[in-house]
Amino acid sequence: MNIRLRVNVLKWSSRGGTVRLVDLQEQQLQDGLKYVEKLRADATDHDGEWGRVETSQPSSLQSTLEDAWLVVECVPENLNLKRKVIAELDELAPEGTIIASNSSSYGIFEILEGMSLKNNKRVMSAHCYWPPETSAIEIMGHKDSDPKLIDLVLEQCKEHGFSPFHVKENSIGYIYNRIWAAIKRETLLTLSEGVATPKEIDAIFKDVLKTPKGPCEQMDVVGLDVVLDIENHYAESRSGIPTEPRDYLREMIEGGNLGVKNGRGFYDYEEQRK
């Protein structure tokens, strides 16, 4: 389920502006509309008019983009697909449309590597978070970005209820993701050394930091295969990343533990599903 897309919809439509959802799958679009309705019903502190939410297929992208000031790609995390979609948006979007990527692991400078666009100054990363209540959004440009457009997006994010953060340099990982990656890595290392159990790590983490979830619980929510992909990306991109956390994750995945999505991760979720 493309939950990020729906969060964007809620916030970007909160000031009355129209938001257009584009997806290959009609079911995703219909689920998206329902989800937005639910989020709107829960948003009791909202005042003013919500904007319209329209849906369409990629085949009519050009007309969908006609008067858009911003377009955010949210396609699956595959570098070639991201590049294909960004190239298409650059080709079809009007000159003044800002193009953003919601990619979690590829900064816009990595996506743009080797690409030749009509106008790369208007392209940036705009990465938001799960769960839907999270208002943080991280904006990252690249060496040729137009600083005025970055400022405009930061300002518009604020106007639409996000808490925007500017990633000021090309970065492998966003600000929050980098800190979270270090927590995950050290958690996995601690587990691999047999120092503590997942339950103990989560309990001490929650006790000291007063957060609702510990790192093992949170990794289970994200999915251990996704956690491994992200960690692999860090390891490919820079030196000094220890191998033990990835080995530990690989063993868990090979043992059929993917987290909440398949009912088994650091914890057993089968009971909760019944």
Ligand X SMILES: NC(=O)c1ccc[n+]([C@@H]2O[C@H](COP(=O)([O-])OP(=O)(O)OC[C@H]3O[C@@H](n4cnc5c(N)ncnc54)[C@H](O)[C@@H]3O)[C@@H](O)[C@H]2O)c1
Choice from 16, 18, 24, 158 touching ligand X (CB under 6 A): 24
Find the helix or strand (DSSP H, E) in which 53 lies: strand 53-56
Residue 29 three-state SS:
helix
Choice from 44, 45, 76, 209 touching ligand X (CB under 6 A): 76
Q: Do residues 40 and 14 touch, judged by C-beta distance below 8 A? A: no
- Measure the CA–CA gap between 40 and 220, rounded to whole angstroms: 28
Of 68-76, 91-99, 134-142, 179-187, the window that binds ligand X (rule: CB under 6 A) is 68-76
**Closest among 226, 215, 207, 230 to 266, alpha carbons compared:** 215
Q: Is the dihedral of CA 256, 262, 266, 267 positive or negative?
A: negative
Of 44-52, 72-80, 148-156, 231-239, the window that binds ligand X (rule: CB under 6 A) is 72-80
Q: Does 20 bind ligand X (CB under 6 A)?
A: no
Q: Does 201 bind ligand X (CB under 6 A)?
A: no
Q: Does 103 bind ligand X (CB under 6 A)?
A: yes
Find the helix or strand (DSSP H, E) in which 224 lies: helix 224-237
Choice from 18, 52, 58, 256 touching ligand X (CB under 6 A): 58
Length of the chain measured in residues: 274
Choice from 77, 146, 225, 244 touching ligand X (CB under 6 A): 77
Read off the amino acid at residue 177: N
Q: Does 218 bind ligand X (CB under 6 A)?
A: no
Which residues between 122 and 161 bind ligand X (CB under 6 A)? 127, 130
Which residues between 104 and 123 bind ligand X (CB under 6 A)? 104
* CB-side neighbour CA atoms (13 Å) of 15: 9
CB atoms within 10 A of CB 34: 11
DSSP letter for 173, please: S
Choice from 64, 102, 145, 190 touching ligand X (CB under 6 A): 102
Choice from 9, 21, 22, 224 touching ligand X (CB under 6 A): 22
Of 44-52, 75-83, 144-152, 248-256, the window that binds ligand X (rule: CB under 6 A) is 75-83
Residue ranges that bind ligand X, judged by CB under 6 A: 1-2, 4, 22-25, 28, 58, 74-77, 85, 102-104, 127, 130
